Amino acid sequence: MARSIRVNLSAARSTMSLPYWQADTSRYPLITVYLVGAEEGQQPDVESLPRIAEGLIAKGEKVVVVYDLTGSNPDARRRQFLVTWLRKNRQELSRCVVASAIVAPTAFHRGILVATFWFIKPLRPVEIFGDRTAATNWAIVQGHRAGLSGLAK
């Protein structure tokens, strides 16, 4: 039976219908985070991604996460916000997220990640992929290595 993590995204949805990040927990302890409602050039609610991570931290259970950046186009303010948030919270996040796979579909996305990882050194395994299937398969293997149960391809 799939468990879910309750994350309050109502504020992200109600403020002028901004795009927002959503967590799919249907394959728990594999969580897939992806962008909802973004049209070309439209930026998501800046706090919706950290809200998901804060929900993971609050729950405190071990998980693997696939972050799918498809459709995102983060501006400098959002990138700085994320770097600042990660600096402040990476210890807590690493207690529950045993591995992160990131879908970076373009060179732009990969460049942002390289720059981010110059400032923030991941404490757990992180791997970058061009598609969600490869990212998911890697995350499942990492979850098995960490002793997580309930992960299936």
CA 132 to chain centre: 12
The pLDDT assigned to 133 comes to 97
Mean local confidence (pLDDT), 123-127: 96
Residue numbers of the domain that contains 24:
10-145
Query: What pLDDT score was predicted for residue 41?
Result: 66
Q: Residue 153: inside a domain, yes or no? A: no
What span, in angstroms and rounded, lies between the C-alpha atoms of 87 and 17? 29
Q: Is the pLDDT of residue 134 over 90?
A: yes
Is the confidence at residue 43, as pLDDT, over 90? no
DSSP secondary structure string for all residues of 67-114: EE-TT----HHHHHHHHHHHHHHHHHHHHHEEEEEEE--SHHHHHHHH
Is 16 part of any domain?
yes
Decide if 1 is inside a domain: no
pLDDT tens, residue by residue, 59-104: 999 999 999 999 888 888 888 998 999 999 999 999 999 999 999 9
Q: How many domains does the chain have?
A: 1
**78 part of a folded domain:** yes
Contacts of 126 (CB under 8 A, 6+ apart): 99, 100, 101, 102, 117
Considering the domain boundaries, does residue 43 fall inside one? yes
pLDDT of residue 5: 46
For residue 152, being part of any structural domain is answered with: no
What does pTM read for this prediction?
A: 0.86
Query: Is residue 35 included in any domain, yes or no?
Result: yes
CATH number at residue 98: 3.30.750.24
Q: Is the pLDDT assigned to residue 127 strictly greater than 60?
A: yes
Residues 6+ apart with CB under 8 A from 124: 94, 97, 98, 99, 100
Bridge partners (DSSP) listed for residue 101: 66, 127
Task: Calculate the alpha carbon distances from 97 to 10, 18, 52 in Å.
Answer: 24, 27, 12
Is 27 a residue whose pLDDT tops 90? yes
How far apart CA 6 and CA 112 sit, in angstroms, is 29
Rounded to the nearest angstrom, the gap between the alpha carbon of residue 91 and the centroid of all alpha carbons in its chain is: 16
Which single residue is written with the structure tokens 């995204």? 9
Structural domain includes residue 4? no
